[in-house]
Amino acid sequence: MTKSTIEQARTILHERFGHAAFRPGQERAVESVLAGRDTLVILPTGGGKSLCYQVPALVLDGLTVVLSPLISLMKDQVDALEAKGIPAAFINSSLSAGQISDRLARAQRGEIKLLYLAPERFDFGSAAERIAAMGVSLLAIDEAHCISEWGHDFRPSYRRVRDIREKLGSPPTIALTATATPEVRRDIARVLALREPEVVLTGFDRPNLRWHVVRTKNDAEKDGTLVEVLARHEGVAIVYAATRKTVDRVAHMLTRSGIRAEAYHAGLDDARRREVQDAFMSEHVRAIVATNAFGMGIDKRNVRLVVHHAMPGSLEAYYQEAGRAGRDGEPADCYLLHAFQDRFTHEFFIKAACPEREVVTAVYYAACNRSEPDGSLALDAAGLASAAKGKVSDREAESALRLLTAAGAVSVSEGSRSRARVRLLATPERIRAELGGEETIEIGVLRALWRSTRGAIAEGAIVDLDALPPGLAGPGGAADVLDALQDRQFVIWSRVGEGLVVTDRKAPVERWPIDWETLDRRRRAETSQLDVMQKYSYTDRCRRGFVLRYFGDPAATNRCEQCDNCLALKHEATSSSAPSQRLAKKPSRVRGEKKGKGASPELDDLTDDQRSLLDALRVLRTSIARRESVPAYVVFADRTLREMARSRPVTAGALADVYGVGPAKMEKYGEDFLTAIRGD
C-alpha cells in the first residue's frame, strides 16, 4: 500500500465524513483493506466499524458489497451515506422487482459505490453472477458474529456467506462485529476461510457507560422500577423485553404512566415497524420497547438509557444491546432488571432450539406412525407434539422437524398443481355485498367451484383447477385468485398433497445423518452462556471488569467507579402498585432529570445563552430532518450542535472547523445553521 493511498483515505474521512482523524483501530483496518488483505475487525459499539469499509470503498475502484442482516440497518446506513453525497443503495424484500432491477443497473454503470444486501438475496436467480460481473473490489460482512455457531445471534443464512464470497470472485473481505470472544473470532475466520487475516481488536471497554443491576421478584417490581428509572434519567431510552407479548404489555404500561413509548417486534408489519423506528429516531417518543429484533446497526448516537426488562441469554447479547447507549461518547446508563425466574424462559428456548435426542426420536416415530402409506402427513408441528410419546412442546417439535428435514428423513411437498382442497367461508350475502354484482374473476371462480362441486365447497371439497371453464386463467391464475380470496377470509384452500412427507416410514431414526454431537455441544454452549449472564447479575465485584475479563480484554481492572458495585449503590426494586423513591441515588456528579427540566452531564459546561442557542439548533435540525425524511443525526450529531452552541461560529470558515462539519455537510446545511447562529 502506498502512502498516497492512506493519505487519500484520510482526505475522504475529513471531506466526506467530517472527521479530522481516524479513531483507534480504524486506520489500521483501512490500511489492511487497501493493501488487499482479509481483515477481521472487533470494535466496541460506537467505535466506528462502518468507516472501516466505507472509506476504503471510496478509495478503491469498483463496487463494495456489504452483507447486512437487517432491512432497517441497510436503510439507515444508506440514508446516512446519501446525506453525505456518497452513492449507495440497498436491495432487499422491501423493494419491487422494478426497483431492484434499476439499482442493479445503476451499480453496473458504476453509479453506486456501496451496495447493501442480505445473504438470502443470493439464493435467488443469478444475483451473485450479475454482481460479480460488475467487479467487486471489497466484500464487507457486518455483524459478523452472526456467522459463528457459537455467537450469540447465530443465523443459519450467514453460514452461506463463504459460498457467496466465492461466487463474487473471492474479493478481499472485511468482517466486522462489536462482540466476539476468542472462540467466536476463530470461528468467523474459519467459516469465511479468511486468508491470514489482519485482526484489529482495540478492546471492548465503553468507559462512558455506567452499569446497574436491580434485583426484582416479579413483573410488578420490574414495571415499577422501570418507570422510576425512566423518571430519574433524561433523554431517549431503549427498553428490551424477552417476548412480543411482554413488549406490548410494557409499552402500554409506560404509556399509562405518562411516558411516551412505542412497541417494536417482528410481529408488526414492515410499515408499522418503520413508523415506530422513525418516531424513535426523530424523538417523537421517549422510549421504544423492543425485542432484540430492534437495534442491530441502528445508529442513534444519543441514547442515554438502555434498560433490560429481563436478563438476556448471554453476556455477548447483553453487552451489544446495552452498548447502544451513549454511542456519542457522552455518559449513559445501562440497567438490568433481574429476577431469578428469567433463567427459566431462556432454558425453555434453548431446549426448543436444540432438542434432545429423545425428543427428535419421539417426533420422528410419531410422524412415521401417523403418515399415510405414501408418506404424506396431515399433522403439523403442533399435531406431532401431541402425538409424540413423552412431553414435547410445539417449539421442540418444530426444531425436530427442521433437523429431520435437513437429514432427509422428512420433506416438504408443494402438492398437486391442479387438485386443490377448498372450503367456502363467506355467505352469499357477504359475497354480494363485498364482491359486488358485476362479473369479476373472483365471482367467476367462486361460481365455477360451487357448480363443479354442487355446493359441496360449503363443507369442503377437492376440486380440479384444470377443469375450470375457459377464461378463469387456468390453474396458476386460479391459485392467485384463491390466495386473494383466502386473504380476505372468503375461502380456505390448500393443494392436495401439500405438506410434510415421511421419506421411509419403516426406516429407524438411526438411518438418518443427524449430527447429535454438534446439537449437544451447542446446547451445552448456550447453557454455559446463560450461566455467565447469571453470574454477572449476581456478582458483587466490578461489573465492567467482569465483562472485559469475559472477552479476554487486558484492560480489565478490579474497580471502575462506573458501576453500582464500585459506587456502592444499593438499588431496591419498586412495585408498580406502590411507587416510591427506593431506587439508589446516582453519584452527585451525574444529575438526573425531574420531569424533563433537569440538567444533563453534557450541558453542565454551557451557559444559559449557549443552551438557548442549542435548543434553537436542535429545532432547526429536526425541521431539516423531517424535510429530507432522514434521522436527525444524519444532519448533525448532538456533539456537533453543542460545539456550535459553545463556539458560536459566524463565518463559513469557523463553522467548517467545528467537529463533524465536513465539506459535504457544510455545503448542504452550512448556511441554514450560520443563519440560526447569527440570528439573521
Whether pLDDT at 592 is above 60: no
Whether pLDDT at 590 is above 50: no
Please tell me the predicted confidence (pLDDT) of residue 508.
Answer: 95
Distance between CA 526 and CA 147 in Å, rounded? 16
Whether pLDDT at 256 is above 90: yes
Whether pLDDT at 151 is above 60: no
User: Which range is least confidently modeled, 124-133, 422-431, 569-578?
Assistant: 569-578
> Cα angle at 162 between 156 and 164, to 5 degrees?
95
Percent residues over pLDDT 90 in the chain:
35
Whether pLDDT at 617 is above 80: yes
**pLDDT, average across residues 30-44:** 92
Residues 6+ apart with CB under 8 A from 429: none
Q: How confident is the model at residue 150 (pLDDT cuts 50, 70, 90)?
A: low
Phi/psi of residue 387, nearest 5 degrees: -80, -25
Whether pLDDT at 326 is above 60: yes
pLDDT digits over 173-185, tens only? 999 988 777 888 8
Q: Which residue has the higher pLDDT, 579 or 285?
A: 285
Please tell me the predicted confidence (pLDDT) of residue 154.
Answer: 64
Please tell me the predicted confidence (pLDDT) of residue 597.
Answer: 33
Q: What topology is assigned to 605-678 in CATH?
A: DNA polymerase; domain 1 (1.10.150)
Q: pLDDT averaged over the chain?
A: 84
**pLDDT, average across residues 196-202:** 90
Please tell me the predicted confidence (pLDDT) of residue 153.
Answer: 60
Q: How confident is the model at residue 10 (pLDDT cuts 50, 70, 90)?
A: very high
Please tell me the predicted confidence (pLDDT) of residue 47.
Answer: 72
Distance between CA 322 and CA 299 in Å, rounded? 14
Please tell me the predicted confidence (pLDDT) of residue 30.
Answer: 95
Please tell me the predicted confidence (pLDDT) of residue 586.
Answer: 45
Nearest in space to 211 (alpha carbons), one of 550, 562, 450, 497: 562
**pLDDT, average across residues 672-678:** 91
User: Which range is least confidently modeled, 86-100, 104-118, 434-448?
Assistant: 434-448
DSSP state letters, 401-418: HHHHHHHTSEEEE---SS
Whether pLDDT at 489 is above 90: no
**pLDDT, average across residues 582-588:** 48
Please tell me the predicted confidence (pLDDT) of residue 596.
Answer: 36
Q: How confident is the model at residue 473 (pLDDT cuts 50, 70, 90)?
A: low
Please tell me the predicted confidence (pLDDT) of residue 488.
Answer: 80
Q: What topology is assigned to 3-201 in CATH?
A: Rossmann fold (3.40.50)
CB 55 within 8 A of CB 17: yes
pLDDT digits over 46-63, tens only? 678 899 999 999 999 999
Please tell me the predicted confidence (pLDDT) of residue 438.
Answer: 65
Q: How confident is the model at residue 435 (pLDDT cuts 50, 70, 90)?
A: confident
**pLDDT, average across residues 157-186:** 85
Please tell me the predicted confidence (pLDDT) of residue 654.
Answer: 83
Please tell me the predicted confidence (pLDDT) of residue 333.
Answer: 95
Helices (H), 196-291: 219-232, 244-256, 270-281
Whether pLDDT at 472 is above 90: no
- Calculated CA dihedral for residues 660, 664, 667, 671, nearest 10 degrees: -20
* CA torsion through residues 586, 591, 596, 602, sign: negative
pLDDT digits over 376-411, tens only? 887 888 889 999 988 888 889 989 998 999 899 998
Helices (H), 436-588: 441-453, 474-487, 516-538, 543-550
Distance between CA 407 and CA 162 in Å, rounded? 22
pLDDT digits over 201-220, tens only? 887 888 899 999 999 999 99
Whether pLDDT at 480 is above 90: no
Q: Which residue has the higher pLDDT, 289 or 482?
A: 289
Q: Provide the pairing of β-strand 63-67 with 198-201.
A: unpaired
CATH 3.40.50.300 given to domain 205-339+539-597: yes
Nearest in space to 163 (alpha carbons), one of 113, 118, 122: 122
User: Which range is least confidently modeled, 23-32, 215-224, 600-609?
Assistant: 600-609
Q: How confident is the model at residue 594 (pLDDT cuts 50, 70, 90)?
A: very low
Phi/psi of residue 241, nearest 5 degrees: -130, 160
Q: Which of the given ranges, 141-145, 150-154, 475-479, has the highest pLDDT on average?
A: 141-145
Whether pLDDT at 605 is above 50: yes
Whether pLDDT at 664 is above 70: yes
Please tell me the predicted confidence (pLDDT) of residue 595.
Answer: 35
Query: In this structure, how many other beta carbons lie within 10 angstroms of the beta carbon of residue 650?
Result: 13
Long-range contacts of range 12-17, CB-CB < 8 Å, 24 or more positions apart? 12/55, 12/58, 12/59, 13/51, 13/55, 14/662, 14/663, 15/662, 15/663, 15/664, 16/58, 16/84, 16/85, 16/86, 16/662, 16/663, 16/664, 17/51, 17/54, 17/55, 17/84, 17/662
